Amino acid sequence: MPKLKTRKSAAKRFRASGSGKIMRRQTHRSHLLEHKSAARKRRLAGTVVVNERDADNIHLMLPYL
């Protein structure tokens, strides 16, 4: 069997947690940060688990994740 290709755009956006769940960055943290409160920016700083409905699609894009 030939090797499967990884979608490089997805590889830059998603990582696997230690337990194998797919993690992503929070949105709304890249620009226009002046008017957002410090608490809101702290809340957006971490990573979150991808929704289970999207996980199967991401697994197809990242076959070796």
13-43 pLDDT, tens digit per residue, is: 999 999 999 999 999 999 999 999 999 999 9
Q: What CATH number is given for 8-61 in this structure?
A: 4.10.410.60
Give the global pTM. 0.81
Query: Given pLDDT bands bounded at 50, 70 and 90, which one contains residue 45?
Result: very high
The CA distances from residue 42 to 16, 33, 38, 49, 52, in Å, are 22, 11, 6, 17, 25
Beta carbons of 16 and 65 less than 8 angstroms apart = yes
- Check whether 65 has a pLDDT greater than 90: no
**Predicted local distance difference test score (pLDDT) of residue 61:** 96
The domain ranges of the chain are 8-61
Question: How many angstroms separate the CA atoms of 10 and 61, rounded?
Answer: 7
**Predicted local distance difference test score (pLDDT) of residue 53:** 96
